[in-house]
Amino acid sequence: MAMTIHVDVVSAETLLFSGAAEFVIVPGERGELGVYPRHAPLVTKLKPGSVRVKLADQAEEELIFVNGGLVEIQPDVVTIMSDSGIRGKDLDEAKAQEAKRAAEEAMKNKTGAMEIAQAQAELASAVAQLAAIQKLRKIK
């Protein structure tokens, strides 16, 4: 039996995942971060992207889209706190494509710095969801 680390992925609405994993990969603000058991303690921001959890003693990975947030890493526990999240199996490609299109259109029509920043954040989220869907297809 492989060494494991406990992983909790929570959003403002619900618990998205809780269980033992061999490792977890999170979309850190400065790039993907791989976390194995006995990792050094760390707290960092997340950017929109996919969390990949390699389940203990199973071939498949669990994929969860997170829309930013924080991750706290301890040697035996990883806690991912996301603003919002979607389990991989619940991602909707058509909805993500429409959100991307709407964000691109909003960026063309906005003039204020806050409006542009909001549109850019929405675009980043939609693009990250589409990337997560592509990763999910590769996993299967």
132 SS3 class: helix
Q: Which two tokens stand for residue 51?
A: 């969390």
Q: What is the pLDDT of residue 55?
A: 92
Same domain assignment for residues 13 and 75: yes
Q: Which of 96, 79, 104 is nearest to 9 (CA)?
A: 79
Q: Which two tokens stand for residue 121?
A: 């954040």
Same domain assignment for residues 51 and 76: yes
Share of the chain above pLDDT 90, in %: 45
Q: Residue 111 — very low, low, confident or very high, per pLDDT cuts 50/70/90?
A: low
Same domain assignment for residues 78 and 20: yes
Radius of gyration of the chain (CA): 16
Q: Residues 97, 71, 15, 58: is their CA dihedral positive or negative?
A: positive
pLDDT at 18 over 70: yes
Same domain assignment for residues 56 and 98: no
